[in-house]
Structure 1
Amino acid sequence: MMVLSVVAMSAAFAGAGAAVKSQDIGDAGPTYNEKSDLNNKDVWIGQEVTLELDGDYTSLQIRQGSTYSEDDDVVLENRVRNQEVTFDSSELEAGNPYNLNVTGDNGDSKWNGVVFWVESEDLNTEFTSSTVSQEGSVNVSLESDRDTQWLNVSADGLDTDDLDNIFSNSDSNIEDVTTHEDDDRVTLNVTGVPSDDSVEFGADFSEIDAGEYEFDFESTDSLAADNATVEVIQDDAEVNFEGDANGEQGEIIDITVSTQYVDSGAVQIADLEDQNFQAATEFEIDEDDLNEITLQFNTNAPNATGADDAWSLHPKHDDHDIELSNKAVNASELDEFEPLGAYEYEMEAGTDLNTSSDLHEDNYYIDDSDVTDTAFFNVNDPTPVGDVSTHVAPAGDNVEGFDNLNDTTVTESNVVADGDHLLLNLDSFDQSGLVDSWSNGESVGEDLGNQSINITVEEQDPGPNVDANVWSTNPDQVADSDADDLIHANVTYTDVSEYDGNLVLALNYEDAGLEADESYDLTYSVSEDSPYVDSEDEEVEIEDSFTIEEPELEWDDSAEEVPNSANADVTGETNVAPGSEIDTNARSSGNFTDSEDAIVAEDGTFTATYDFSEYDAGITFDLTATHADRNEFDSNYEDDLRHQIESTLVDAEEPLIQLDTSAPEEVTVGDDATLDVTVANNGGAADEVEIGVDIAGESVDSQTVTLEPGDEWSQSYSFDTSEAGDIEWGVTAGDDSASGTLSVVEEEEPADDSGTDDSGTDDSGSDDSGSDDSGSDDSGSDDSGSDDGGASGTPGFGVAVAAIALLAAAMLALRRQD
């Protein structure tokens, strides 16, 4: 409400507690005839005060101060006429005491030594509703320092007759209405104003045109003034729901309303008496062409959230001029962190919200006469989290905030290189209301724990004679010794306008002390203590696991010979997250120094392309690969994230035959095991290649194939694992060869049957040529690795989160096809 400072024009009465001999609407201030009526009382600044004297005095002197002293300066002196004297308090300063002295008679006047205080008067007015329909009425609330007040009232667009019709029909607290035809105003005599509260009087708009009116209320004899605004709306003004509002417990639910012939309104959800819950808010639209808006209500923990945060506008209105006011929520029957119960609540829409002072502030409601539409606010039982999966992202990327997360490469994987981001994706975590209460990067384990949602991590192999270490995201579990230590789960982004129901958390495993070369079980659980679980039968427990590996990268054996072509590819492999950037450098003393960037693809390979077309075959050079963000990893891994080899340029016009093999080192009796062989011609001319494959001392394949430039030949061979023992194998392709040994072990040997060593990640490098048959090309780029989809999916991470890695893999495949 805006407070005005306007000089009052007429009429009056005394300050608080002061008695007045006479009072008339034509007086400019109070008249006193008794010393006790004014002594130690207040005079409101702006009042003209008249004193009736008891003798033939000549003047009135006023000095500042609470005691009279002849030596003090006279600040105001007025002449006495007909035994009366008047002074204007606006010539004095508010907040100060003053004393009187009357001169000119043989004796002392009773007014001598009288002390009064000049004060600024407070006046507050407002309509109890921001709108009123034609033919309707609304109350004006008045707060004043006096128990009786005279007010001059005017409003642009309303003449004296309009104002008289509005206030003359009031049935309470207006003693008199005086009209002033010459300047379109009326004077109200308002009585019964309590000293510590407000009083209300009626205003009838039955004969007033629709529109917005600002009323000026001015005390007639002081400088106190205020204004209040009300909008008169057409009788057919409506606020309507655009359908029911639907959502699940814990979600932010949209409520869409439209307006007709009105730019403000109100919405109420439920009834406190019937549903032990009630919420309401008003809205005002300050745009002429906007008549449909979407409100939002947060059903997550209304008691903890509070009314200001429970009610909001849909983010699509961020650039619109809409204001919510008088937000209210009463959910006193709910526990602090309990969501709004699943139920079909009735909603009401109307043109105004009743906020009368006799109601509890959390019980604002729409009067029946103002309701224009009803609908349902349907809160449904929550859908439990469907799955929990682990993902990785490059160590050097920022994963806080939606844009950052969407810009990085996120790959589903249960193996993380120590230092890369380990992300948890909680599928169908639909508690958008809870997500909205967080900030990007915030540790949310405690808030999840408040709803009995816990994430625990347990080491798989603690060693003999010792319990496994257990970490929890819930501080209470750590305090209760249900877990050994705390592991923080930090929410990546909280922008609910982008939130798709999949909660992405960054697991801070490094600070928690989880170690490399270890595997861990991860459990997501929701107990029956959760407000989202009704019984023990509905408890949720989802298990997953992940392994932390020491990060490493190295060049493939194929990089030892590089064609002197304009588009010479050199390839390496690494276990760091796809999307990571690898800096490469080629340097030959006295010949060239060049550098190219490479991006780690989904299959763990990285490829840099150089232009060596200007250089002769036979030149040797140092080829170096370095993780661009290795400073983000532990310093112990510095050497593991840099690899240098000596390479030689070969004639690009000649064939360049390269062999790649992949086979497990160990399997259990009866398990499937294959030897995968790929032979590629990465040179510039066709060649006939003699290929031979031996398994267990017997030739299983021997043939000659013709490979055009860029062609590949691939084949897989099965091992006989029906009996325990070692199976040796060997492959030749032209001048290249590779060999290895497969160990088939009995099932009763659990230490050898864990499956952790037979994944094919290091197929034969233990032998002659780990660099030749490391599996970088046989499965990732050709027949199997690129088609096992689930290993690198990105649910919950938006569109094209792995675009860079996919592009790198596609370019490599295209080159080989050419």
Structure 2
Amino acid sequence: MTDTSEKIRSLFLTALMVFSVFAGTIAFSGGAAAAANVSVEQAAEYDSGTVELALNGSTGSAVPRGNIDVYIDGNENPGNYNVSSVDGTDDGTTGRLAFSLAQDVQPNRNLTVKVTGLSGGDGTVVAQDIDVTSETISTSGSNDTDINAFRGEVIAINDSDADATNNGPSIEVDGDSVVLSDSYTDNSEVYTVDTSDLDTGEDYTISVDNTEEAVVTISDLSLEVNIDDDVGDGANIDDTDTLAVNVSTNRGGEPANATLFNEDDDKVDTIVKNLQGNSNVVFDFGNQSADDSPYYVEVTDNQTGVSAESDQINVSESDDGEASFETGTVQDELGDVANITVQMSNTEDAVINVGSQEDDNYYIQGQLTDEDGDGEVTVQFNSYTAGTNNNNTVLSVPGDDDLDDVEEGGSFNRGDLSDDALEAGSYSINVTAGTSPDVTSPDAVGTLRLNENSVESIKTWAAPSDAEIDDDDVDIYDRIGVNLTESDDLAAEDVVVHEIQASGIEGALEYEEEDGSASDATEAFITATDTTPDRINSSDTTDSGLRLYVNRTDVGANAEEQPIDFSNSSGAVTVVDDPDNNTYFVAVDTSDVAFENGNTIVSEEDTRLNATFSVREGPLTDDRNSDSAIYTTSERDATLNLDDSGVVTVSAAAGQEVTGTTNVAPGSELEVEMESESEANPFVLRPETDVAPDGTYTATADFSEYSAGTNFTVQTLDVDGSSDFSDEEDGRIVEADTATVSISDQESDGSEVVVDSAQLSEGGFIAIHAGNASGDVVGNSEYLEAGSHEDITITLDEPMDEDFTAVAMPHLDTNGNEAYDFPGADGPYTANGSAVTDSANVTVGTEEEPTATEEPTETETEPPATEEQTEEATTMDSGTEEAETTAAEGPGFTAAIALIALVAAALLAVRRDN
């Protein structure tokens, strides 16, 4: 390779380098700086790991090395950017301090150099805002000269062989000569090419002295700065709103500087954050004064130096802020959490006070911030923890809003939860807009009324053994009537749910969760509630004063009640709380709990239990509010319904129902197992079914493939087959019930239809479905005896007002009550596995009324006709064409009227003849 080629490669030693050097802002440290009398004479310079400071001193001595600290973006020696070597020179008045860093500083970082101990003393000089914008991609020693640059970056070429008279190499971009800028270095010249005016997606060739070439591909960083519209309308906000911008780029992970400038282009604040590819990063500058409006934000990507600006942001003075209470009086019970809603106008800050030193000997104060901008903040006051100086558990705000600077005071001070609690009564509340804690002139005042706690009731519900009571996807109230049934008689292994209506509980449960002792309502209830097997007059094991005792009472004479030992019944209790309605559902799985003597509910045939829940009326007192519920548990059982011969009878057809009753909880899933006793017709059927709210169950099976006369056995099991709890019964397949039905197209006024005929082997009903066999039942017949029936008129439940297809379907009377009970019972007659049906088109309309005729007008009796008149009438009756035409076209003319006219003419003729 020629010397010329080597030189050219040296010129590309830093062949994509965004390089700039800025004068630093110099700060001095009081008298120490004056003693040293040393300052930064010119720009601090950073290049490839070396920092040089040109210093000026009047001490006449060499520039001291001193102690050097390096800060990157305000952090001291981040990433071990420690000083590795120091050198100083001096010409009597000016010196240069140079030192190297252990590793290169990444581009576009803010470099600060602090030198202390100058002139042997403690003088300090600081060079700030040394922008590190150099990025070097070396091409020396390689033939790869393809370079990628983002539009807006600066391509730099360093001619390390340049001297004082060297004007630099000749450089062209795509054949066009360009003017290169040069930047100061001591022994080199740096020439730069700005890519701001180049086109993205294009390749550009840079040649040096027409000898070597580098191909640069220009990409678009897509750096965008948009005003955040979450507060105000973006470009127009007031001084109580947050000034923020959203920054996005198509390449993430690198830091960017966002700088806020005022109307005089003075820098107000700078924020450094890492960008995220193709998603917004919010740079929040907080509240800004209207005096310096308008503002704009300039964002610079640190790796490339590419910048973008926001639109102008106008800040105006806000109207005076106001704060008020949603309601002037807030009521709750002592021990609960009171919700106090503060409404804000023209402000996002307010100070709230609960209580007062003068009137209540207790107060708590907090600074509120409406972070979500909805104009209100709900403050939760926990009356259970009030006075403990555990501020975070007394006042809190839910959601995205904020609470700060909470201060609790007054002569009332509990110390801990076991001491005297806050008294029931009325407490003053006030609120003031702004951030000042001085609330001597509040915007609004109100009252917090804390009433005495109470236990209103406790009642029991039954739930299936596998019920998930605390399923977040299902509201517990939606379970009522499905798999939650009020009952005081439960089957062993089912879940008993104690519904407790009581106040004064919420605060203790919320405290346990906020304090970290509990992760959910169940753990909080168990932690806060005394459930130990101790009995009457026992001391509480918790500070809350809550007790739940469940004792077995049918223990016989002269024996103590046996309590359930919840401490040895892990996982047996589940709690669903509804504090807004002072309701708590405490579910106990009877298969998992044991009595104090070790016996389980399941091991006992029958038990009688008394569940008592109580709340201490006041602190340090044995007086309690309480209520109890008594319920029993029994061995799980089921009884199959048999026919008069004492067997379960089904037909050799589809849709056969086997029914029974059980004491297991409604909603439980059961299996009814039917096993053949015939080798010629072997089968085992296990249809599943749910227990209905009335304790009945119906299993449906298909016997159409089996022969009449086959015997089988029937038994009811839990759905998983784990246990059977009904007696085994005999079953028999009989000939299938048969039916036929016929219905014809017909006209109807919409209130009824007529079925032509039906043949029912076992009696039953004819149902009318609209549209098709799966359509709604719109009517049914009365009970029909077994046999043949014709012209069966069925009145529809509601008249039809348009034509429809009527599907007639015979139904059995499966429960024998001669009342149509489908779909609960009374399934349809079937043939070949399908319901027996026939259909017809019903035309709905009314009978045509006869055409209205003109009624004769009543006239006075005329005198007897004269001979002339008689002759005229006779002439008209003679059948002339004119007379016929008039008669045919007369209004309301009918055949009957024509006949009357003829008779009248005849009578006249007779009269004339006489």
- Is the contact made by 1:554 and 1:643 (CA closer than 8 Å) also made in structure 2? yes
Is residue 2:88 matched to residue 1:78?
A: yes
Q: Give the whole-Å Cα distance in 2 for the aligned partners of 1:24 and 1:95.
A: 17
Residues 586 and 117 from structure 1, CA distance in 2 versus in 1: closer, same or farther, beyond 3 angstroms?
A: farther
Quick one: distance in 1 between partners of 2:348 and 2:296? Answer: 14
Q: Which residue of 1 aligns with 2:431?
A: 349
Q: Match of 1:546?
A: 631
- Runs (5+) with no aligned partner, structure 1: 1-5, 30-44, 66-72, 102-109, 122-132, 137-153, 161-182, 188-203, 217-229, 355-364, 476-484, 632-637, 656-681, 687-705, 711-776, 784-808
Which residue of the partner structure matches residue 389 of structure 1? 459
Quote how far apart the aligned CAs of 1:24 are. Answer: 11
CA, structure 1 residues 376+100, in 2 after alignment: closer, same or farther (shift >3 Å)?
Answer: closer
Q: Is the 8 A contact 2:501 2:584 kept in 1?
A: yes
* Distance verdict in 2 for CA 1:240–1:11, change over 3 Å: same
Establish whether residue 501 from structure 1 lines up as the match of residue 511 from structure 2: no
1:21 pairs, out of 35, 38, 41, with 35
User: Which stretch shows the higher mean deviation, 514-523 or 419-428?
Assistant: 514-523
Tell whether the 8 Å contact from 1:387 to 1:427 is kept in structure 2 after alignment. Answer: yes
CA contact (8 A) 2:671 2:721 kept: no
TM-score, normalized by length of structure 1? 0.52
* AA at the equivalent of 2:90: V
What is the CA deviation profile of residues 420-467 of structure 1, one whole-angstrom value per residue up to 9, with x for unaligned ones? 112211024463334443514427244123322222233323346643
Q: Distance in 1 between matches of 2:463 and 2:822?
A: 20
What is the rounded CA distance, in whole Å, between the counterparts of 1:541 and 1:782 in structure 2? Answer: 50
Alignment of 1:139-178 (within 5 A): 156=260, 158-159=262-263
**Of the candidates 411, 414, 422, which is equivalent to residue 334 of structure 1?**
414
Partner residue, 2:59:
53
Partner of 1:451: 544
1:298 corresponds to which residue? Answer: 382
SS of the aligned residue for 2:593 comes to helix
Aligned to 1:812, the other structure's residue is in SS state: coil
* CA displacement, residues 689-736 of structure 1 (integer Å, 9 cap, x when unaligned): xxxxxxxxxxxxxxxxx99679xxxxxxxxxxxxxxxxxxxxxxxxxx
* SS of residue paired to 2:709: coil
CA RMSD between the two structures? 5.6
After superposition, the Cα gap between the structure-2 partners of 1:235 and 1:8, relative to the gap in structure 1 and judged at 3 Å, is farther
Question: CA separation in 1, counterparts of 2:315 and 2:395?
Answer: 24
Partner of 1:812: 824
SS at match of 1:270: strand
- Tell me, in whole angstroms, the C-alpha distance in 1 between the residues paired with 2:368 and 2:53: 40
Partner of 1:596: 687
Contact 2:737 2:762 in 1 (8 A): yes
Aligned partners of 1:62, 1:24: CA distance in 2, in Å?
Answer: 12
1:280 aligns with 2:373: no
Per the alignment, in what secondary structure is the counterpart of residue 85 of structure 2? strand
Partner residue, 2:498: 424
Paired letter, 2:593:
D
Within 2, Cα distance between the matches of 1:616 and 1:630? 27
Alignment partner, residue 734 of structure 2: 650
Kindly provide the CA deviation profile for residues 637-688 of structure 1, in whole angstroms up to 9, marking residues without a partner as x: x3x4365433112345499xxxxxxxxxxxxxxxxxxxxxxxxxx99238xx
Identity among equivalent positions (%) equals 20
1:90 CA displacement? 9.8
Match among 594, 597, 602 for residue 512 of structure 1:
594
Mapped to 2, the partners of 1:74 and 1:550 lie a distance apart of: 84
**Per-residue Cα deviation, 1:42-99 (whole angstroms, up to 9, x for no partner):** xxx99987655355x5x6567999xxxxxxx992333323445464789799999999
Q: Distance in 2 between matches of 1:345 and 1:707?
A: 70
Q: Confirm or deny: 8 A CA contact 1:268 1:366 kept in the other structure.
A: no
Match for residue 561 of structure 1 among 649, 664, 667: 649
Q: Contact 2:40–2:125 at 8 Å: present in 1 too?
A: no
CA distance in 1, matches of 2:711, 2:64: 114
Cα separation, partners in 2 of 1:419 and 1:472, compared to 1, 3 Å: closer
Aligned AA for 1:334?
A: R
Bigger shift: residues 257-266 or 274-283:
257-266
Picking from 576, 584, 594, the partner of 2:664 is: 576
In structure 2, the partner of 1:236 is: 320
- Return the alpha-carbon distance in structure 1 between the equivalents of residues 639 and 684 of structure 2: 20
Secondary structure in 2 matching 1:493? strand
Partner of 1:622: 713
Q: In the superposition, relative to structure 1, how do residues 283 and 555 fare at CA in structure 2: closer, same or farther (>3 Å)?
A: same
**1:491 positional shift:** 4.1
CA 1:535 to 1:593, structure 2 compared with 1: closer, same or farther past 3 Å? closer
Q: What is the CA distance between 1:394 and its match in structure 2?
A: 0.6
Question: Are 2:507 and 1:433 aligned?
Answer: yes
Partner of 1:10: 25
SS at structure 2 position matched to 1:576: coil
What SS does the aligned partner of 1:579 have?
coil
Change (3 A) 1:92 1:489: closer
Distance 1:584 1:367, change over 3 A: same
1:279 to 1:519, Cα distance in 2 relative to 1, 3 A: farther
Q: Structure 1 pair 580/120, CA: closer, same or farther in 2 (3 Å)?
A: farther
Q: Which runs of structure 2 are paired with 1:409-808 in the superposition (5 Å)?
A: 409-429=483-503, 431-436=505-510, 437=513, 439-442=520-523, 444-449=525-530, 450-463=543-556, 466-471=559-564, 490-494=573-577, 500-507=581-588, 509=590, 510-513=592-595, 514-515=600-601, 516-526=604-614, 528=616, 530-531=618-619, 536=623, 539-558=624-643, 560-564=648-652, 566-588=654-676, 590-591=680-681, 593-612=684-703, 617-629=708-720, 631=722, 638=723, 640-641=724-725, 644-651=728-735, 653=737, 684-685=762-763
Residue number in structure 1 paired with 2:837: none
Cα distance between partner residues in 1 of 2:402 and 2:670 = 52
- The 1-side partners of 2:465 and 2:588 are apart by 13
Residue identity matched to 1:416: L
Structure 1 19/379 Cα, relative in aligned 2: closer, same or farther at 3 Å? same
CA distance, structure 2, for counterparts of residue 599 and residue 82 of structure 1 = 102
Structure-1 separation of matches of 2:818 and 2:357: 66
CA offsets 1:577-620 (integer angstroms, 9 cap, x no match): 11110122434454455442211123322111234456554232
Distance 1:347 1:271 in 2: 8
Alpha-carbon distance between aligned partners in 2 of 1:625 and 1:79, rounded to the nearest angstrom: 102
Alignment of 1:84-103 (within 5 A): 85=95, 87=97
CA-CA distance at 1:300 after TM superposition? 3.2
Partners of 1:8 and 1:311 in 2: CA distance:
51
Rounded Cα–Cα distance in structure 1 between residues aligned with 2:390 and 2:638: 52
Question: Per the alignment, do residues 486 and 334 of structure 1 end up closer, same or farther by CA in structure 2, a change over 3 Å counting?
Answer: farther
* Rounded Cα–Cα distance in structure 2 between residues aligned with 1:709 and 1:339: 76
Residue type of the alignment partner of 1:184 = D
Q: Larger RCO: Structure 1 or Structure 2 (Cα < 8 Å, ≥ 6 residues apart)?
A: 1
Q: Please give the per-residue CA displacement for 1:373-413, whole angstroms capped at 9, x wherever unaligned.
A: 21324233145121111222111221224545445611222
> Does the 8 A contact of 2:509 with 2:524 survive in 1?
no
Unaligned runs of 5+ in 2: 1-20, 44-50, 70-82, 104-110, 129-236, 241-257, 270-286, 300-313, 531-542, 740-759, 765-781, 787-814, 829-914
**367 and 598 in structure 1: CA distance in 2 versus 1, 3 angstrom threshold:** same
